[in-house]
Amino acid sequence: MSEFPSKANVVVIGAGIVGSCLVGHLSRLGWEDIVLIDKGPLPNPGGSTGHASNFIFPVDHNKEMALLGVQSANQYRDLDRSVDSGGIEVARTQERMDELDRRMTSATAWGVEAELLTPAQVKELVPFINEEIILGGFHCPTVSVVDSLDTGTLFRNEAMDKGVLQVFANTEVEDVETVDAPNGQQRVSAVVTDRGRIEANYVVVACGVWSNRVANMAGATIPLVPAVHQMADVGPMDVLAETNNEIGYPIVRDMDTFCYERQSAGSMEVGSYGHRAILHHPDDIPSNDEAALTPTEMPFTQDDFDPQMETAIELMDFLGDAEIKYAINGLLSLTPDAMPCLGETVEVRNLWSAAAVWVKEGPGMAQVVAEWMTYGYPRVIDPHASDLARFYPEERGDDHIWARADEHFIKTYGIVHPQEQWEGRRNLVQSPYYSRQEALGAMFFQARVWERAQWYNSNADLVERYGLSEREVEWDNRWWSPIINGEHLNMRENAGLFDLSAFQVFELSGPGALDFAEYLSVNKVCKGIGTSAYTPWLNEDGGFHSDLTMMQTSEDTVRIVTGAFDGGRDEYWIKKYLPEDESVTFKNLSRTTTTLGLWGPNAEAILSQLTDADLSFAGNSYGSVTNVEIAGIACTIFRVSYVGDTGWEIYTGWDNGPALWDALMDAGNDHGLRPTGMGVYAVTGRIEKGYRLMGAELESEYNPIEAGLARPKVKAADFIGKEAYLAAREAGDPEVHCVTLQVDDNVDSQGRQRWMQGGNEPILTADGERLVDSHGRVSRVTTAGYGPSVGKNLLLGYVPAEYAAPGTQMKVMYMNELFPCTVVGTGSAFDPENTRLKGS
């Protein structure tokens, strides 16, 4: 073994599937002088990789998980460390059969071969299954079984053969050191191990269940918790042994019992996600020496597994007579929102995380992190749902991580609605109006940590007034109310008052603030005090990182307003790029500034009762930012709209909020003003206007030209992504366009009206053909919602240019049925001339 180095460019901690693939991908991208360390022995250092069941079901409703699953499966195949066993998800309930229809829809979206099977067809593929207790199955022939340990070895060998990697097993990390960096930040500087100290420019934590503990050494957080997944190996069974294969029969996922049966040579691995959530602190995981097997193969707690055995025997009787040869409480990583932790830590520059990644996504996610480190942002996929920066401080503590993991563990094989809300850890941040909203019967949805009223039950009378009704199918009606449509129509007729306190409000100040604001933004931001811009922020490759509004509020300050789901990512992005000369000061005003939105044809009449300011279009033009007094309260009003009706975002100090709310509600009493929820703001109002949303229509795979957000001219100032943006503009007509579609007929084969949820439903040609562009981007629904003012189900999504013309007939798949739809165009379905917003 070579001598332990004192310096390296990159130190990767953890030689499981993630760390091993990461060093391989870094070497492919030209990185040199890499050191990989692990506290355990190789090739199985004792983390979660070593006891993984090593199978990949390539269908997932989540785009990142689905595409990186497919990507990872292909990487295993490329190394010849993969066998396509096929896999079947079986349903014991009608609810699950409906979910399998949804799985078929996602399989179509991601281009994964799949079919629904009758119980008899399942039996043909899996002769030892009890087909009498199942209603059907979802069969995916490309489900694969991989050799993750050997794949890790091959990736490490590839980097070592290039001479760019040294590997040290049995090397324990004792500390991760940092040094002061500009703008009051910390930067990683060294890793201290029991073999010595290595100075490093970059450190990557790929330590699986130990990741948070190692990140904590540097003062950073990677919110995850080690959690038990129980698995028992039973056998031998002749029918399995006779296949003379590691895997000869399709893997069966018994979805309704949260269990799987996976052949392993002559025996069967029965794995469970159906037991109670069993969480451990990383300090309670034994060392390699102290563990009877490996540290993450903890002693089996039989009582937790017993109910699973009963249901497993129901499904496959022969399991009952086979001996339980090996059974473990295997540890894996869970995060507060069930998504991985990828990217640079927000607390320490150059300290990266590649954690909470399972074998099924390992190679793909390692590629994501390697590209992120290389290019400043991943190229293979937009990682916003896995981005470590997404977490707010309240989401990074053990109390939150444990509570959320406890809640979602049982949903691993669950049927999770796209709008599903968390039960626990609510009310982490309430707006100043919370008690008023509660009194109005608000239905609260949580936007990460912020509680927001989705609709108000006090507006139930609007349902009758506008002749609205519940949705016929429970799934479509879940987490929804016709009151939303009532609030929408009332806003279009009168006015709505919106609580937008979850807005993330930042301020840049100092001599470099204006230039820095321009550097972040595609559009020109600083056009004088009191001006504003709606603008994309791009990454270096010219794809979207964010879209938000920015206002010049003084000679050297700029205010940035972004959404609750993106506050963490945007704050991280700003801090990452802050000038090293410290000429810009960053402040987060989100917890001291509250925002109300007032929109509708009566908005001006309402507000004018409370202020002397000129509110006419002439005196207060669209986009202007003005300091005014409203009911004697100092406020800033911003004439803008995300819902298609005229009005303002009104900012004031947090403590002034309640008085402002009361004054506006009083003034609106005779003007039909109603408190109006995020169901209108985020969905119905927005989709009627075709406004794009970060994380839905806007992702790094798309650019402003494709999104229809390119302005006629490009500003002179430099900005992040400018070169790529200019190149995309010069390339001419884009390959895809973001369009609005209307669903022409939403009645399904059972005669029921259906309502798409915006869960990546594929947008197909009129002949039902899947649409994929030359970059591999698939046409799918990015947002779905009803447009109450246009009376249609509306969809947003990207389609190839030849399908983007208004009137083009298409199909959308929902719950495995095709519905005809028509392209409305790249603009708005409602008030396309924007007369309601900007005056006629």
Question: What is the gyration radius of the CA atoms in the chain, in angstroms?
Answer: 27
**220 versus 322: smaller Cβ distance to other proteins:** 322
* Encoded amino acid at 296, one letter: T
Handedness of CA 361, 362, 363, 369 (dihedral sign): positive
Token representation of residue 685: 């109002």
The piece of 295-303, 334-342, 711-719, 770-778 that touches other proteins (CB under 8 A) is: 295-303
Of the candidates 312, 640, 663, 683, which one interacts with other proteins according to CB under 8 A? 312
Lay out the site mask for other proteins across 423-442 (x = CB under 8 A, - = otherwise). --------------------
Whether the CA torsion 17, 22, 25, 30 is positive or negative: it is: negative
User: Residue from 160, 169, 324, 714 that binds other proteins (CB under 8 A)?
Assistant: 324
Whose Cβ is closer to other proteins: residue 42's or residue 291's? 291
- Work out how close the CB of 18 gets to other proteins at its nearest, in angstroms, rounded to a whole number: 25
Q: Which is nearer to other proteins, 3 or 321 (CB)?
A: 321
Which one of residues 313, 605, 696, 714 is an interface residue with other proteins (CB under 8 A)?
A: 313
The residue from 321, 423, 580, 767 that contacts other proteins (CB under 8 A) is 321
Which residues, including other chains, have CB under 8 Å from residue 539's CB and lie 6 or more apart? 376, 377, 545, 700, 720, 721
Question: Looking at beta carbons only, is 291 or 473 nearer to other proteins?
Answer: 291
**Measured on CA atoms in the order 449, 450, 455, 459, is the torsion positive or negative?**
positive
* Cβ closest to other proteins, residue 116 vs residue 291: 291
Which class for 709: exposed (0-12), middle (13-18), buried (19 or more C-beta within 10 A)? buried
> Out of 182, 196, 320, 768, which residue is the one contacting other proteins (CB under 8 A)?
320
Cβ nearer to other proteins, comparing 292 with 716: 292
Residue 213, Cβ density class (10 Å: 0-12 exposed, 13-18 middle, ≥19 buried): middle
Nearest distance from C-beta of residue 233 to other proteins, angstroms: 10
Among the listed residues 309, 351, 694, 790, the single contact to other proteins using CB under 8 A: 309
- In the list 80, 113, 242, 306, the residue contacting other proteins (rule: CB under 8 A) is 306
Q: How far is the CB of 243 from other proteins (least distance, A)?
A: 21
Which residue, 325 or 576, is less far from other proteins as judged by CB? Answer: 325
Please report how close the Cβ of residue 19 comes to other proteins at its closest, in angstroms: 24
- The 253-292 site mask, x for binding other proteins (CB under 8 A), equals -------------------------------x-x--xxxx
Q: How far is the CB of 407 from other proteins (least distance, A)?
A: 27
Q: How far is the CB of 128 from other proteins (least distance, A)?
A: 14
Minimum CB separation from other proteins for residue 285, in Å? 8
Per DSSP (E only), the strands in 236-300 are: 251-254, 259-264, 267-272, 297-298
Phi/psi at 202 (nearest 5 deg)? Answer: -130, 140
Express the helix, strand and coil content of the chain in percent, nearest 5 each.
Answer: 30, 30, 40
Residues 346, 393: Cα–Cα separation, whole Å: 11
Query: Least distance (Å) from other proteins to the CB of residue 50?
Result: 16
List alpha helices for 478-540, DSSP H: 482-493, 513-520
Closest CA to 537 of 527, 551, 523: 523
Residue 179 burial (CB count, 10 A): 11
Nearer to other proteins, 105 or 267 (CB): 267
Structure tokens at 449: 């940590």
Count of CB atoms within 10 A of residue 168's CB?
Answer: 21
- In the complex, the smallest distance separating the C-beta of residue 256 from other proteins, rounded to whole angstroms, is 19
Q: What is the DSSP letter of 422?
A: P
Token representation of residue 832: 């396309």
> Which residues face 10 on adjacent strands?
34, 202
> Which C-beta is closer to other proteins: that of 312 or that of 804?
312
| Residues contacting other proteins: total by CB under 8 A | 24
Q: What's the rounded Cα separation, in Å, for the pair 754 and 814?
A: 8
The site map against other proteins for 200-239 (x = CB under 8 A) is: ----------------------------------x-----
Q: Whole-angstrom Cα distance, residue 409 to residue 275?
A: 9
Closest distance of CB 312 from other proteins, Å: 7
- What distance, in Å, lies between the first and last C-alpha atoms of the chain? 77
Identified binder of other proteins from the candidate list 214, 225, 319, 635, rule CB under 8 A: 319
For other proteins, give the closer residue by CB, 190 or 232: 232
* Cβ at position 46, least distance to other proteins in Å: 12
The answer to the question of residue 730 lying near other proteins (CB under 8 A) is no
Using the rule CB under 8 A, which residue among 242, 323, 655, 745 binds other proteins?
323
Strand extents, DSSP E, 582-679: 585-588, 593-599, 625-630, 633-639, 647-653, 673-675
Rounded Cα distance, 816 and 108, in Å: 9
Span interacting with other proteins, options 43-51, 68-76, 301-309, 600-608, rule CB under 8 A: 301-309
718: left (phi over 0), alpha (psi -120 to 50) or beta: beta
Q: Which of these segments, 317-325, 441-449, 624-632, 804-812, binds other proteins (CB under 8 A)? A: 317-325
> From CA 212, how far away is CA 225, in angstroms rounded?
8
What would you measure as the largest C-alpha separation in the chain, in angstroms? 87
Is 325 a binding residue for other proteins by CB under 8 A? The answer is: yes
Minimum distance, C-beta of residue 259 to other proteins, in the bound complex (Å)? 12
Nearer to other proteins, 310 or 833 (CB): 310
Q: Which is nearer to other proteins, 310 or 470 (CB)?
A: 310
Can you say whether the dihedral through the CA atoms of 741, 745, 751, 752 is positive or negative? positive
Give the residue with the Cβ less far from other proteins, 301 or 583: 301
Residues 35, 10 contacting (CB under 8 angstroms)? yes
CB of 267 to other proteins, least distance (A): 11
Nearer residue to other proteins within complex by CB, 313 or 460: 313
The nearest distance, CB 266 to other proteins, in angstroms, is: 14
**Which residue spans within 660-780 are E strands per DSSP?**
673-675, 736-743, 763-765
Residues 640-679, interacting with other proteins (CB under 8 A): none
Which is nearer to other proteins, 321 or 580 (by Cβ)? 321
Nearer to other proteins, 297 or 571 (CB): 297
Q: Binding to other proteins by residue 322, rule CB under 8 A?
A: yes
Residue 280 or 379 having the CB closest to other proteins: 280
Of 312 and 615, nearer to other proteins (C-beta) is: 312
Question: What is the distance between the alpha carbons of residues 99 and 102, in angstroms, rounded to a whole number?
Answer: 5
Q: How far apart, in whole angstroms, are the C-alpha atoms of residue 307 and residue 300? A: 14
Question: One symbol per residue from 700 to 719: x for binding other proteins (CB under 8 A), - otherwise; what is it?
Answer: --------------------
* Least separation in angstroms between CB 301 and other proteins: 9
Residue 474's Cβ-count burial label (10 Å; 0-12, 13-18, 19+) is exposed
| Other C-beta atoms lying within 10 Å of the C-beta of residue 526 | 21
Binding-site member from 182, 184, 196, 299 for other proteins (CB under 8 A):
299
Binding span for other proteins by CB under 8 A among 311-319, 397-405, 624-632, 829-837: 311-319
- Binding residues for other proteins, rule: CB under 8 A, are 234, 284, 286, 289-293, 298-300, 302, 306, 309-310, 312-313, 319-325
